A and B are shown apart, each in its own frame.
Chain A
Amino acid sequence: MVGRDVFLELDCVMVIKMLKEKGTNRSLVAPIILDMDREKSCPKKISFKKEDAGNHAVACRGGRSSAGSLDAPPGGANYGKCASPASSSSVRSRKRKSSRAVVVARPPEEVKTASRVVRRRRGNSKSSAAAVRGRHISSLCDDLLLQIFLRLPSVATLIRAACTCPAWRRAMSSSPDFRRRFRSLHPSPLLGLFTSDTSDASSIVAAFVPALPHGSRPDDDDLAAAVRGGDFSLPNAAGGGGGWRLVTNSCQFGNLLLYNRQDKSHAVINPYSTRRSEGQRHLLVSRNMTGRYFAAAVLSSSSRSRLMLLDNALSKMKATIFAMETGKVCSATPWVDIPACPDQVDGRVPCGRICVQSNGSVYYLCENWGYIASIDTSTMGITVVELPPQCVSRGSLAKVGETKDGETCLVYSDGRDVGVLNLMHTRGDDVQKWVLDRVVSMDAELRRVLPAGQFDARVCVLTVMAVRDGYVYLSISVTLPDSYWLLSLCLATMKLEKLFQGAYGGRTGISYIMPWPRSLIGW
């Protein structure tokens, strides 16, 4: 604490340097920076977290300016980027005006905030792009830019904005928070369904049925353009040979996973890249699976895709990850015990479905088998948990996905009820628990959104197709023969919205939901 007052009159950066060199505890340094900063602090409403942990911009807390603040009113300078050029003088040049030095210990998070702010200011000087003298849109800070981008009507508009200058693209793609908020305002459009073209549910999924949007939405044109822009044809779509079939629930990250029964190989195609690099498909021979049943999923959206195969024997399970390009094994889990598989449940052979999340976690759901397994792709550990009784059997179908806050949730449908479970991690990180959050009857909502006369509580059954960023995509059979509606359900409000109407296969179809553009991630 020697010479504290002197320090405060010194150049702040120098002080930090000196203290560091002396090996002084950081707790002394931080409050000093904070005091400098509090002079200019103001409540900050908006903030987007940056992807890069080292470049955090966190909401500055309320800190109303303290006494004597009239010559230095609360100001936006605490998020340096927002300050106008004249006032964005760095911490360096600011000296504490008050002669009374008050070094107070503050809660750790506040201290963190202060040091982050300093870091961010430094970072900013490098990244000011498209600099033009005078007032210009590039003088707005990233947070304000993102506020503007949030109000764009569709992903297509966002993409075009990203293409105007690298600074904008960087602002969008460095913030997962922005991605989530944009998605919560503009749910990922459902582009269509891969369905069998007859009402026979057991036939091979063959044709892509594009979404024909209902009603007039601002992003309709963009949706139509997105559907037109992709190549959704499947290798054996025209009934040709090859033996390829689409793997159920495989449209993660915009990739389609195909399986060839004849030579037991897998292929990944992306509707948005095949058109350009004609015929380029990643093939992989999956070797002989020892298990009785198995499931597969594509793990990442990058060009170096990895494929996870789940080998599922009678009472054991194992996951193996392959590199798609080489077909080589990257990593594998040991065999893990699972509940013994019954031969038949309700007259059907039990089977599971895989759900992959953007954070890399993989869930394998087997309702009529009564368990859910989660595979951690970084540690390659499998955790098997019994499913809560609500979503076991009864023909309900469940999907794992994310809420708009990025939390893992499980959504199941039972008749016309929709149930939501949240994943809880108990203290010892390995212990998982699915906790029922709510079960909501959709009757009233269905009556509200479906065309008059098409809803009949006796025949209409909801099916969960996918859960993405806080929205559930559902299909429901209606009173018209061989007809279904696709709906989206906002998990925050539990309000339904119509997407489009189709014929056949609504229940067995595989939904294709527009992925978040790869070009707008972590750039």
Chain B
Amino acid sequence: MEVDKGKGEAEETRKVAEADRDTVTLKSSDGKLFEVSKEAAARLSTVLAGMIAGGSIDDNGTDLKQIGSEALENVVDYCNKHANSIPSAALISSSISFNTAPFKEPEEWERKFVDRLSHDALFDLVEAANFLGMERLLDVTCHKISEMMKGKSPDQIREVFNIKNDYTKEELEEIRQELAWAFYDD
């Protein structure tokens, strides 16, 4: 009992010390450490915000076993860039056509940020964003991938994503019967 109490106190002091720091250290699945501003982490990621509030942040690096170092680097990079960027008027104003209303268009810097990523890195980042509950980053990355499908024929989409066509001829014919108008290459 006594020992337990002592432990609890130590925990308390550790938490207090932690609360004073303004960065958090994140550890990728392959053991690399990254620092990110606590404020940005809490604002952009619901999961990190929860962990910070719940005191389950580790000084020596909070283990994120689901995220590889490359993806985590991008996450941290995004957090830092986001902290530095001033939200543009477009992001603040809500009067966008209802076609796109719930999804705000990516900002210029966000576009550049995802444009430079390889496919591999992009898919990793989508998963990391989902994992960490980073709504905006998920938005931006999903938008980027959807743009890679836009205006393309099924063949072209397969080429872009290196997808094997495992449809049977009959199955494809069935769709084309109903929806021939949707195919550019008809």
Contact = CB atoms under 8 A, between A and B. Distances in A.
A493 B163 CA distance: 39
A83 B66 contact: yes
Interface residues of A, number: 74
Contacts of B54: 64
A222 B179 CA distance: 12
A75 B29 CA distance: 12
Contact of A135 (B120, B167, B172, B177): B120
B99 A152 contact: no
A518 B178 contact: yes
B149 to A, nearest CB: 5
A148 B183 contact: no
Interface of B: 29, 46-47, 50-51, 54, 56, 58, 62-66, 68, 97-103, 119-120, 123-124, 126-127, 130-131, 133, 135, 138, 142-143, 145-146, 149-154, 157-158, 161-167, 171-172, 174-175, 177-184
A459 interface: no
A77 interface: yes
A143 B142 CA distance: 11
A144 B143 CA distance: 11
B123 A77 contact: no
B166 A156 contact: no
Contact of B164 (A65, A132, A161, A497): A132
Given A163-B154, A226-B181, 4 more contacts: A136-B123, A148-B145, A160-B154, A228-B181
Interface in A54-113: 62, 64-65, 69-77, 82-84, 86-87
B175 A163 contact: yes
B150 A84 contact: no
Most interface-central of A73, A161, A225, A273 (chain B CB within 10 A): A73
B123 A276 contact: no
A222 B99 CA distance: 14
Interface stretch (A21-29, A39-47, A361-369): A39-47
A230 B102 CA distance: 31
Contacts of A70: 56, 58, 62-63
A50 B59 CA distance: 41
B181 A151 contact: no
Contacts of A87: 29, 65-66
Contact of A76 (B66, B97, B153, B174): B66
Contacts of B161: 136-137, 164
B65 A517 contact: no
Contact of B133 (A42, A144, A273): A42
Given A73-B62, A144-B130, A518-B178, A135 B100 contact: no
A432 B108 CA distance: 52
Contact of B175 (A65, A148, A159, A276): A159
Contacts of A147: 138, 142
A435 B69 CA distance: 55
A35 B17 CA distance: 31
B183 A186 contact: no
Nearest to A151: B146
A45 B135 contact: yes
A345 to B, nearest CB: 37
